[in-house]
Amino acid sequence: MPENSKKMTNLRQVYRPLVVVLAYDGLCTFEFGVAVEIFGLPRPELGDEWYRFAVAGVESGELRATGGIRIMTDGDLSLLASADAIVVPGWRGLDEPVPDALCEALHDAHARGCRLLSICSGVFVLAASGLLNGRKATTHWRYTDALQRRYPAISVIEDVLYQDEGDILTSAGSAAGIDLCLHLVRREFGVETANHVARRLVIPAHRDGAQPQQLNRPVAQLRESQRLGQLFDFLHNHLAVSHSIDSLARRVGMSPRTFLRRFQDATGTTPARWLINARLLRAKDYLESSRLSIDCIAEQTGFVQAATLRHHFRQHFALSPAQYRKQFARYCR
């Protein structure tokens, strides 16, 4: 291999995306901690390509956070100029103005292809910048009406955990920020890496972004929770197999009616929709990390036919599997 090609290969191998999280006086500690936990911890077990991380101060000097915590940042808003992704934690108040300098820095970052993420009320920062106009976005259910009222150009999605618009991603309440950040990890590094991070956090590896923010019964009884947890493991390992309500109900020792009710309570969705989402995530992973044909991926993920995979893939991601592979396949980088 020519020397220049070797150097280029080495450069690609050590490239580490930079995630910058905003800090400001009156910082929301939990949302800030979510970004630190997902993107800021060193993870040598994942190799050399894991994220770099920095904290950018919206104001200068020492900043106060909820709970009496004081924060010293890595730099000011100039850090946003080199970021690959920017995380906006929950903003300090819906009536608190967003500095013009911050809006301008976000505009510049977005224009050069930087991904923008907001957690909870952090969406009001993105809204104030105008970058969400004509887009879909979400926030905590307590703030959805205020967001729609103040920014009518935004299509506010009220009852989802997070909304992925490609280059701009928004989450519902604080804990949904974990789901959103893991979603980005899954999108950029694949299912296996996201599952590894989730295991370290001791949380479910995936909750569908379309899952409702509020469930009638979010915590199942202990015995049912254990049985459903084992069922999810089984399904993840047998996505290529056809499943029926009756067969799944028998596996967890419930009647079909009880099973459907308990499944909906635990996940906020139906078994059929859960399976489609799980299969799509597996298909995305194959498209990113393998050279398997679309027909083979359809077969291995339970869609059976490539046409069925293409239909669901376009519905969920507004891209064909081939287009997605062209944009995100890691072996092509």
Residue ranges of domains in the chain? 3-200, 215-268, 273-332
**Start-end of H helices in the chain:** 3-14, 29-35, 100-111, 123-129, 144-150, 176-189, 191-201, 222-237, 245-251, 256-267, 271-289, 294-300, 306-317, 321-328
**168 with 141: CB under 8 angstroms?**
no
Instruction: List the pLDDT tens digit at each of the 333 positions of the chain.
Output: 455 544 444 444 567 899 999 999 999 999 999 999 999 998 988 888 899 999 999 998 889 998 889 999 999 999 999 999 999 999 999 999 999 999 999 999 999 999 999 999 999 999 999 999 999 999 999 999 999 999 999 999 988 889 999 999 999 988 899 999 999 998 898 878 888 888 888 776 656 555 556 544 444 444 455 678 788 889 988 999 999 999 999 999 999 999 999 888 777 789 999 999 899 989 988 998 889 999 999 999 999 999 999 999 988 877 899 988 888 776 544
- Please classify residue 289 by burial: count the beta carbons closer than 10 Å to its beta carbon, then call 0-12 exposed, 13-18 middle and 19+ buried: middle
First to last CA, the chain: 17
* Distances from the Cα of 307 to the Cα of 245, 268, 288, 313, 314, angstroms: 24, 28, 19, 10, 11
Q: Does pTM top 0.75 for this prediction?
A: no
Supply the angle between the helices 191-201 and 176-189 in degrees, to the nearest 10.
150
| CATH class of the domain at 215-268 | mainly alpha
Pairwise CA distance, residues 24 & 71, whole Å = 9
3-state secondary structure (DSSP) of residue 77 = helix
Residue type, 210: A
Catalytic residue among 28, 103, 114, 120: 120
120 is catalytic: yes
Same fold, 3-200 and 215-268: no
Q: Which candidate, 289, 291, 279, 286, places its Cα nearest to that of 315?
A: 279
| Structure-derived torsion over alpha carbons of residues 261, 265, 267, 273, reported in degrees to the nearest 10 | 30
Give the CATH superfamily of 273-332: Homeodomain-like (1.10.10.60)
Query: Which pLDDT score, from 0 to 100, does residue 333 have?
Result: 46
Counting every residue written for the chain, the total comes to 333
Query: Which pLDDT score, from 0 to 100, does residue 230 have?
Result: 84
**Where do we find the tokens 């009616």?**
257
- Specify the pairing of strand 63-65 against strand 69-71: antiparallel
Give the CATH superfamily of 3-200: Class I glutamine amidotransferase (GATase) domain (3.40.50.880)
Pairwise CA distance, residues 285 & 152, whole Å = 36
Pairwise CA distance, residues 12 & 200, whole Å = 27
**88 with 125: CB under 8 angstroms?**
yes
Query: Which pLDDT score, from 0 to 100, does residue 212 have?
Result: 59
Pairwise CA distance, residues 86 & 166, whole Å = 14
Beta-bridged to residue 156, according to DSSP, are 137
Structure tokens at 52: 């770099």
Query: Which pLDDT score, from 0 to 100, does residue 207 have?
Result: 63
Alpha carbons within 13 A on the beta-carbon side of 327: 12
